[in-house]
Amino acid sequence: MNAVVDVSNVCWSPEIGPRSKRPLLSRLDQVTEAWRDRYGAGAELVLVVDRALRHQISGEQRADFDRRCRQGLLRVVPFADPVLLSLARERDLQIVSQDRFVDLRRQFRWIETQPERFHGWRRDGNGLCFVSSGIVPVSGQVKSRAEEDKDLAVRGLKDHKDVLRSVWRCVARCFMAQVWPEGLLLWPGLDRRTGEPVCPDPRCGRPLVRVRDRRPSRELLVERLDLDEDRAALLRFPLEADGCLEIGRGALTHGINLDGIGREHSDAVARVSRRHLLIEADAALTVSVRDVGSSHGTAVRRWEGHALGRPRPLEPGEPVRLGSSDQVVLADSVAVRLSGRRYSPDVVPPALGGGGGARTVLR
Ligand SMILES: [Zn+2]
């Protein structure tokens, strides 16, 4: 039986032994050996590893790690999870990992329908045996939180969430400072060395000045419709309670300009009007949208329990409430939706189940 192995997950598993809080390559050898004992010496094992593991293992193991890479025994990628799930799907491989992949279940829907393909491990006498890794279906909200948590980690904000609880402005002379003198409408960037918020304008990046506490907020996500789900996200931004903003393609003081998000997206957003969509949140963070007279129109797709329904075009000015999984489509090319995350400056973040008790997310 052929399989793809989540190498970082294996190397970090203290259950395999020997006892150590550091990741160990020897654990990988124990797992591959046990798999071939159990499923045949000819079983093909594809070993996918996060690039970060090289820096997490002890110095003595690094030469061994590099040798395995040179020999093509390890496949090193920036983020292993989506790669190993894609490989598993394309080549019909089993998956050796204790990870529950909650943040990727929307992207890889077969995870929940084929839990028997996921193998964890347990010590058994002197050896290892393979057991179900315990994948069970979770709600959409749990998936969203896991996705957002992963996104924060990728952006370096996971340990600096306090940055997200304030509104910031840039006092340099950059484009964003001029468009939003009262506070940035996008999330700030983060200086990974100091943990300080910096201007998200790619040509600026200077330290920001705090304006005030952010009111309870929801996060919105803008996505391209012409790309796969994992590459589609264009930007995320907060919307405060009792707040409103516009999305379009112009320098909008009270809005977000999709023209400013990079030349590689300019064709995709070309049909969005200069003033296209107004998004409003009431005091309870119920979000509604309306088309403000766009040329190519706006449609809403309601979530119908298992999939998005057909797009329903909106009349100009017609307000519609946006449900947590609904999608607003601008000019048939760009979608806006609520992300799973809510922010509140004074709510203690609850623990997220299923991924270890220490992990917390904002809501
Ligand atoms: Zn700036």
**What is the 97 CA–ligand 1 centroid distance (Å)?**
42
**What is the 186 CA–ligand 1 centroid distance (Å)?**
12
Angle value at C-alpha 234, between 228 and 238, nearest 5 degrees: 130
**Of 56, 58, 30, which Cα lies nearest the Cα of 45?**
30
Q: Mind listing the pLDDT tens digit for each residue in 145-165? A: 777 777 777 766 666 667 888
Q: Give the mean pLDDT per block of 10 residues along the chain (363 residues).
A: 96 90 94 96 95 90 96 92 94 96 88 95 91 86 75 69 87 90 90 84 91 91 83 86 91 81 84 94 94 95 85 96 92 90 50 28 28
Q: Mind listing the pLDDT tens digit for each residue in 351-361? A: 322 232 222 22
**What is the 178 CA–ligand 1 centroid distance (Å)?**
9
Query: CATH classification of 215-344 is 3.30.300.130, yes or no?
Result: no
**What is the 195 CA–ligand 1 centroid distance (Å)?**
17
280 beta partners: 244, 288
pLDDT at 158: 66
Q: Cα dist. 184→20, 159, 169, 283 in Å?
A: 45, 21, 5, 21
Distance CA 218, CA 337 (A): 11
**What is the 176 CA–ligand 1 centroid distance (Å)?**
6
* Phi-psi sector, 156: left (phi>0), alpha (psi -120 to 50), beta: left
Distance CA 112, CA 31 (A): 24
pLDDT at 354: 29
> Which residues in the chain are classed under CATH 3.40.50.11980?
3-137
**What is the 291 CA–ligand 1 centroid distance (Å)?**
30
Long-range contact set of residues 334-337: C-beta below 8 Å, sequence gap at least 24: 334/222, 334/223, 334/224, 334/225, 334/234, 334/258, 334/268, 334/269, 334/272, 335/222, 335/223, 335/224, 335/225, 336/220, 336/221, 336/222, 336/223, 336/247, 336/277, 336/279, 336/289, 337/220, 337/221, 337/223
**What is the 181 CA–ligand 1 centroid distance (Å)?**
10
Amino acid, single-letter form, for residue 201: D
**What is the 305 CA–ligand 1 centroid distance (Å)?**
42
**What is the 65 CA–ligand 1 centroid distance (Å)?**
41
> Which residues in the chain are classed under CATH 2.60.200.20?
215-344
pLDDT at 232: 79
Contact (CB, 8 A) for 199 and 316 = no
Find all residues with CB under 8 Å of 140, minimum gap 6, and list them. 106, 324, 325, 340
Distance CA 116, CA 135 (A): 8
pLDDT at 344: 61
pLDDT at 359: 26
Angle value at C-alpha 185, between 181 and 189, nearest 5 degrees: 100
**What is the 311 CA–ligand 1 centroid distance (Å)?**
38
**What is the 173 CA–ligand 1 centroid distance (Å)?**
7
**What is the 180 CA–ligand 1 centroid distance (Å)?**
10
Strands 94-96 and 3-6: parallel
The CATH number of the domain covering residues in 3-137: 3.40.50.11980
**What is the 202 CA–ligand 1 centroid distance (Å)?**
8
**What is the 280 CA–ligand 1 centroid distance (Å)?**
26
**What is the 197 CA–ligand 1 centroid distance (Å)?**
11
Kindly list the strands in the beta sheet with 255-257, ordered across the sheet, starting from the edge strand earlier in the chain.
Answer: 255-257, 244-248, 277-281, 287-291, 320-321
